[in-house]
């Protein structure tokens, strides 16, 4: 479990709580959480300090592009958050309400949960960097905190071949794999056979 805190405006401190259910599926990598594209992200935030007057808690998602000429990631707001609300994203915002006297009622809660299904990463395979931000709004102030993710890429550009292409149940077939590339290395290979009646 990791705690992250990054206050843009320092009046209030917001703690980001991020944990991996299966610890081997995500690994801290410098300023990023390194996860597979099949990961569902569940985040929890809590405001610490004088947080009784929170009016709004909103989660934002940004995607990052690294400029080839520099190592700086440029962040852009993911504009389809509303479109995929309650499809990919759950718990985007908690709004306060205003009563008839126009008196702002506080939320009564200083915590917020947000979940993004793995469809976000799987549907945008070309994006390696993602940022999840929570913004706490107060009557005259805002405070925010964010957490960055780096998406692990699967092995690429390789192939495997089998030889010979026909034989009997006592023939030894050789499967050869070559040119598989992954910046983290190749762990293993596995092979399965499928009969025609299972494919149908």
Partner 1 sequence: MMLAFSVFPTIQVRLPAGTDNQSLIHLVGFVRDPFDCVTEFNLSSVVVVSDSTEITNLVDSLQNSRSGITNNPLVQILASGNQNTIGQVISSLSLAFNKINDQTVKTAVESETLNNDFHFCI
Tracing tokens 């494919």 back to the chain, one arrives at 199
Pairing of strands 32-35, 141-151: parallel
Task: Kindly state the smallest distance separating residue 168's Cβ from partner 1, in Å.
Answer: 4
Site for partner 1 in 93-112 (CB under 8 A): none
Q: Under the criterion CB under 8 A, does residue 34 sit at the interface with partner 1?
A: yes
Smaller CB distance to partner 1: residue 126 or 190?
190
Which string of DSSP letters, residue by residue, matches 5-58? ---SSTTSEEEEEE--SSGGGEEEETTEEEE-TTPPEEEEEEEESS-TT--EEE
Q: How far is the CB of 95 from partner 1 (least distance, A)?
A: 38
Phi, psi of 51 (to 5 degrees): -115, 25
- Does residue 37 touch partner 1 according to CB under 8 A? yes
Among positions 128-187, residues that touch partner 1 (CB under 8 A) are 152-156, 158-162, 164-178, 180, 182, 184-187
Q: How far is the CB of 44 from partner 1 (least distance, A)?
A: 23
77 versus 160: smaller Cβ distance to partner 1: 160
Cα separation, 144 vs 125, whole angstroms: 27
Judged by the rule CB under 8 A, the positions of this chain that interact with partner 1 are 24-25, 27, 34, 36-38, 152-156, 158-162, 164-178, 180, 182, 184-197, 199
């Amino acid at each position: 479990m990791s705690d992250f805190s990054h206050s843009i405006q320092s009046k209030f401190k917001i703690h980001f709580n991020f944990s991996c259910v299966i610890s081997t599926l995500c690994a801290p990598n410098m300023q990023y959480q390194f996860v597979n594209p099949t990961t569902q992200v569940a985040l929890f935030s809590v405001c610490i300090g004088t947080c009784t007057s929170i009016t709004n808690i909103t989660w934002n998602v940004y995607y990052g592009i690294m400029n080839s000429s520099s190592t700086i990631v440029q962040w852009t707001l993911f504009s389809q958050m509303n479109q995929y609300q309650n499809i990919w994203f759950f718990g985007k915002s908690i709004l306060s309400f205003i009563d008839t006297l126009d008196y702002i009622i506080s939320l009564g809660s200083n915590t917020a949960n947000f979940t993004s299904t793995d469809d976000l990463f799987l549907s945008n395979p070309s994006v390696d960097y993602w940022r999840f931000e929570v913004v706490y709004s107060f009557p005259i102030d805002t405070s925010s905190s964010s957490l960055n993710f780096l998406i692990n890429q699967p092995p690429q550009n390789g192939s495997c071949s089998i030889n010979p292409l026909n034989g009997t149940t006592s023939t030894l077939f050789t499967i050869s794999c070559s040119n598989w590339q992954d910046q983290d290395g190749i762990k293993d290979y596995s092979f399965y056979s499928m009969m025609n009646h299972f494919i149908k």
